[in-house]
Homo-oligomer: A and B are copies of this chain.
Amino acid sequence: MTEAQPTGVIDFNCDMGESFGAYEMKLDKEIIKYVSSINIATGFHAGDPNWMRASVELAAAHGVAVGAHPAYPDLAGFGRRAMSLNPSEVKNAVAYQVGALSAFTGRGGLQHVKPHGAMYNRAVVDAEEAGAIIDAVHEFDPSLIHVVLAGSKWEELALGAGVRVAREAYSDRAITPEGTLVPRSEPGAVIHDPDEVVARVVKIATQGKVTAVNGDEIPFVADTICLHGDNPGAVEIAIKVRQALDAEGVEVKPMSEIVA
């Protein structure tokens, strides 16, 4: 189902613009130095028109590509709470938010769409919702890249729909022998050792492989890797990962230069 990407090149993406009104996420200006794509919050879980413009300008100043980061309408819960929107509500909510961000990037200024939090998590397991998101993004602009979880049914659905797809891996999440995420409820689901995180990213980017929880080395294709940007430790890891990739000669580029 998955095609190999050209190893030796990878995108780093990070959620950004999650400030709101008087609440500023101050690490944005730091973490942006280490990524090639950012996902800008679009007002439903975080972000507002003023921060959206500021984030687009920050991206331009750093030569970083911009995507939309739509979410459920849940500011109080930061979009992290499951919410039973039906597929047409999801489709319309995504369209609204992507359109809103496009006012700040201008025509052609949007590279991708990556759903946030609970909407992302449900797309991984719920084909109807995944389909609604794919519809909304494709309807808005067929050239936009759909960021999906590598190894998920959602990836399959998007590839099957013939849209542009960027397969995303998480640098700090354990993988089953089948190539899917180990659920957070299981021990060892999250990898805390920075050196191991770095080693895993390097292996994905250089060999297209990952060490699964049972110790098997399995093929694992990812176009973009998600870096967290919400704590100082995250910045440290970002720096280490970039240094390790430089040492290996891996190029870091926006996903639009990687996926077909």
Contact = CB atoms under 8 A, between A and B. Distances in A.
Interface of A: 20-23, 43, 46, 48-50, 52-53, 73-78, 80-85, 88-89, 92-93, 95-104, 118, 136, 139-140
Nearest to A80: B22
Given A76-B20, A100-B97, A103-B140, A49 B82 contact: no
A39 to B, nearest CB: 16
Nearest to A93: B49
14 contacts: A20-B23, A21-B78, A49-B93, A49-B95, A73-B76, A81-B83, A83-B83, A95-B103, A96-B103, A97-B100, A99-B102, A100-B100, A100-B103, A103-B139
Contact of A92 (B50, B80, B118): B50
A206 B225 CA distance: 62
Contact of A96 (B85, B100, B140): B100
Contact of A103 (B20, B82, B99): B99
Contacts of A75: 20-21, 75
Given A21-B76, A76-B21, A77-B21, A49 B96 contact: yes
A50 B97 contact: no
Nearest to A96: B49
